[in-house]
Every structure is written in C-alpha cells, then in structure tokens.
A and B are shown apart, each in its own frame.
Chain A
C-alpha cells in the first residue's frame, strides 16, 4: 500500500465499462449477442485523437495496467514499470487504454457473466474466443472512444500476438506496433505446457466439467497446479537459482513431502494466490486462444505474406533467458517483416529473468522502449513535454 502515490505513477484510477449491443460473430462461428468490456485509461486524449495507445494484456492480465485503485492497494497495476509520467509510455503525452479481454474474469463479459439466453452464468458454455475476436472487440472499443487510429498498439507475450493481429486485421488503424517477448504462433512444446495446465484443472474433482459455481466449489488445486507449471515456464533456470538456490525453509531436511525448499513454497504461494483470484474457465479459454493463434495460416502458412498486410512500423523486443517465447521466436517475426520490406527494429535484452522480464524495470529495456515511444510521439506530431 502506498503511503504516498509515487510522482511517476498515474495515481488513483477507476475502471469503466463499455456495453456493446451489436452482436459479435466469433472465429468459431458462435455469436455473442451482447457484451461488456471493462477498461481503464491514463492520460488525456488530444483534440484530434492522435495520441492513443492500446495496451493488450497477456494470459492472466487485465485492464488494471497502471496506478492504484485505492490507497489500500498493495501493488500498482501489472505494467506500472512502463506506464506513467516520464515512463516509456509517458502519460503526459499519450492517452493509454487498457482493457480486460472478452472471456476474462476481471469485469469484461466472460464465463462468470450471465448468459442472456439462459439467465444463468455462462460457465463452460462461454464460447472459445480467438485473438482475432479480441482484436475485433478492441476495435469496437476504439470506435466508442472516438479513436480512429492508434498511435501504437503495445503488448507482451499473448499481448504481443494481439498486436500482430491488429497490424494485419486493421492495417489503417495502427501507426506503430510494439511486440514484446512474443511469437508468431505457439510451438508444440508451448501447446503441450498449456494442455498439462488444462488437464490439471479439468481433472480436479471440484471442476465439475466447468460447472463448479453450480456446485459451490472452485477447482483450487487444479488452478494451483496450472499456475505453478505456468510460473515455471515464465522463469529461467538462472533466475530460480539466483532467487532460491537450494535454500531450505527450515534450514534442514525433514524427510517429508511437505514443501521444504524455498522454491517449492514460492510456487505454492503463487499458485494459492492465483487460485483465489482467477476463474478456471477463463484460464482454459485464454490458453486455447494462445494455442489457436497462427495468423499465417490464412496466408498459405507464409508469415511474410501475412505480415505484408500491415502498414505500421514495428518494434520487436526479446529477452535472452526467455525460453517460453525465446529470442528465436521474435526473430521469426523480425525476419518476416524485413522480407516484407516493413520498417522494423529489434533488440534482444540481456536478462536473467526469463519470460517475466517483459514486466520488469530493466534499465536497457526501459531506455530502448522509451526511445521508441518518443519516436512514436514525434511521428504523431505530439508536443514535447517540459522536463
């Protein structure tokens, strides 16, 4: 909890909700008759609506990207290191929009919402949404906010996939695309990890095929296992060695199966925390959206042909110890973009923090990101801010 709000924070923020009555036809063919998107904004939209930045969240993220909801909050939003006055996405220059994606569990319509057709909670009957569906719904949110073109669409991990999708789905509505720690599609290994996570949830006796709310349960142990596995893939071997080594909680071996090593209790803590805040059906959906993402599929599996549709400039960033979306995966995007003759810059940031690095305040990363966002501001003719 902040005693005082830091000077480089966007401060106290409140989410807003936008309701949509126009039905949304999804990639699966199913239709969402109506839906809500919950979102936050930071900074001021300028008169010609040319300074708007869209933040796309990753697997377990939401609309609360920066600032605090109240003075009692223990932590700021999930990307507070990059959004705020004087930060890479400088809210003195940009108007930042962050939303919770469809199928989420932080306020936007998802499995925990009421299905208007049955009057009951959607639960496992909520349609499986694809990255392109999110992007379409985000475009409708842009319409509602009066934003014709984003100065930049920005995202890490699954968020980066939404950015790629934006660049080809609405080429005229994106000026710059920032794709961080992402990939043009999942590898078999990535899909395998997701499946193990989904199985952990599905096989939890409290899951009840996704109808756990009807049974008054939550598949806590399944969610915990899914999160623990996910967390492993976000960290690097180096980071875990640095953070935990082989430290024992009680300083000695107890010859029991209770958590003894620090790394075990850390994973338990992360899993526990996650299982009480995140909806299991949402987790199933989000991992499916990840698995299905493969925009080149519609272009003869040719990523060059696919990204040729885009008209924006790109910044692609990867991290040395990220093995979930390794630097080679970012290079696939970069190479496709150079082959398609697009403007692209690429940097691979030295870090021991694995995939998680994209959320952390690594000096070289922030400097580079900041420099690029200044370029975005210049290309949009945004006025300078006095230091």
Chain B
C-alpha cells in the first residue's frame, strides 16, 4: 500500500505538531512513525501482538507491551495531548471504561470503529437473518474479536451520557476513503467512523 491509509490521514489532521500522542493498539507503528516524521510528534504505542511489537521496534517507534483490557492506570491524568485508538474499541472488554481512561490521560482522543449501522450490515441481517460478515468484519459470530459492535448513534449516545464533546467526526469506506455520498447520510452509508472527542 502506498502512502498512509485514509483514516490515518484524517487522524493526522487532528494531531497538533510537536505534541505527545498515545496510540492504543498501535499495530506495526505506522501511524506513530508517520506522526513522528511529519509532525515531530513524540509518543508511545501500546500493543500485545509479539510480531507487531518487534515491527514497531524496527519501525523506530516507542512501543510498550500492554493489554488494553488491564487498564491504563500506569499513565497519569492529562499527561498526553492526544490518545488515539484505531479499530480497537469494539474488541476490548469494556469500551465505555476505556473511553473514560482515554480522556483521563489525554486532553483529546481520536477513535475509529466499524459502523454496525452501515446499510450493507443492516440489509445482511434483515435479508439473511444471520450475523453480518463483510471485508471489514470477516469473522463468524463465535470467533470474532469484535465483541462490542456499535453504530454511530450508539457511540454518540454513550458520549452524550458521559458528557464527552465531539470535536470532529467523519466516515470512510472499507478502503478507508472519504466520499461525499457518505457524508450526506453517514449513519447509513459510512462503514468506518472516525471521531475526535474531548471532555473539555
């Protein structure tokens, strides 16, 4: 793949130069490396996969082996400018508690997750009567790591309940590309949600 994935390209617009970032479930460190090089951002990635941790080290980013389900109590309040979590919210034990933690540590947070209200998903369930599978969600109901699927509206209701303010939001398709059509009716036409949130 050439260049940066589109959702990562969107995220980077919301990260301030020279700031400090924590990337939860940082994978091979692609985003952190990009932010380091293009915005002089400092930061850490948290990851639990052995090979991805080694890849991060090869990639020249700081990576800390840590399971997000065990909490983030090792990071101090407001110690990070932006806490980022791409495509991991739906896979953690308690997304609501992790969201609280992200906004305790971070002044701002950026979250991306697959939209279960995407029209194809809705039609899949309606027409086939089975749990939806797609390129974004390729797993069976019994072996999926995505244990907490939600829709845009679900997420926004959660944010409202917690007094979390949404600074920016956008949607991308499964190729992680933005398209005007999706922005017209994001809850139905957007496949992946990208939210920029804060408690302030």
Task: Judge whether B58 and A371 touch: CB under 8 Å.
Answer: yes
Whether the pair B75, A375 counts as a contact (CB closer than 8 A) is: no
> Whole-angstrom distance from the CB of B83 to the nearest CB of chain A?
13
**Interface size range on B against A:** 10 to 19
Interface secondary structure of B, over-half rule: mixed
Report the stretch among A42-50, A121-129, A189-197, A336-344 that lies at the interface.
Answer: A336-344
Interface string of B25-54 (1 = CB under 8 A from A): 000000000000000001010000010011
- Whether B60 sits at the interface, judged by CB under 8 Å, is yes
Instruction: Tell me if A168 is interfacial: C-beta within 8 Å of chain B.
Output: no
**How many angstroms from the CA of A343 to the CA of B57 in the assembled complex?**
12
Q: Which residues of chain B are within 8 angstroms of A272 by Cβ–Cβ distance?
A: none
Closest chain B residue to A344, Cβ basis: B62
A368 contacts the other chain (CB 8 A): yes
- Check if B13 is an interface residue, CB within 8 A of chain A: no
Interface size class of A (residues with CB under 8 A): 20 to 34
Is there an interface contact between B60 and A347, defined as CB atoms closer than 8 Å? Answer: no
* Cβ-based interface call for A14 (8 A): no
Judged by a CB distance under 8 angstroms, whether A364 is at the interface is: yes
Q: Does A367 contact B (CB under 8 A)?
A: yes
Interface contact B42-A344, CB-CB below 8 Å:
no
Question: B65 contacts the other chain (Cβ, under 8 Å)?
Answer: yes
Q: Is the CB of B74 within 8 A of A338?
A: yes
A374 to B63, CA, bound (A): 16
Using CB atoms, name the residue of chain A closest to B44. Answer: A338
**Known contacts A339-B79, A341-B42, A368-B53: A334-B58 contact under CB 8 Å:** no
Chief secondary structure at chain A's binding surface: helix
A344 to B42, CA, bound (A): 11
A335-B54 contact, Cβ under 8 Å, with A345-B62, A346-B64, A346-B65 = no
B63 touches which of A331, A339, A341, A345 (Cβ 8 Å): A345
For window 63-90 of B, CB contacts with A under 8 Å fall at: 63-65, 74-76, 79
Which parts of B156-189 form the interface with A (CB within 8 Å)?
A: none
Whether a CB of chain B sits under 8 angstroms from the CB of A24 is no
Bound state CA distance, A15 and B11, in angstroms? 55
* A345 proximity list for chain B (CB < 8 A): 53, 56-57, 62-64
Chain A contacts of B65 at CB under 8 A?
A: 346-348
Please tell me if A234 contacts chain B, counting CB pairs below 8 Å: no
Contacts of A78 in B (CB 8 A): none
Contacting residue for B54 out of A348, A371, A378, CB 8 A: A371
Task: Please measure, in the bound complex, the distance between the C-alpha atom of A370 and the C-alpha atom of B172, giving whole angstroms.
Answer: 38
In contact, B50 and A364 (Cβ under 8 angstroms): yes
Which of A331, A345, A372, A374 has its CB near the most chain B CB atoms (within 10 A)?
A345
Instruction: Give Cα A315–Cα B63 distance, bound, in whole angstroms.
Output: 9
Residues from chain B with a CB closer than 8 A to the CB of A348 are 65
The 8 closest A-B pairs by CB, nearest first: A371-B57, A371-B58, A346-B64, A335-B74, A347-B65, A368-B54, A345-B63, A371-B54
A341-B20, A347-B53, A367-B54 given. 18 additional CB < 8 A pairs?
A: A331-B74, A338-B44, A338-B64, A338-B74, A338-B75, A339-B76, A344-B44, A344-B64, A345-B62, A345-B63, A346-B64, A346-B65, A347-B63, A348-B65, A364-B50, A364-B54, A368-B53, A374-B58
Question: Can you name 10 A-B residue pairings with CB atoms under 8 Å?
Answer: A315-B57, A345-B56, A345-B57, A345-B64, A346-B63, A347-B63, A368-B54, A371-B54, A371-B58, A378-B60
Chain B interfacial positions (CB closer than 8 Å to A)? 20, 42, 44, 50, 53-54, 56-58, 60, 62-65, 74-76, 79
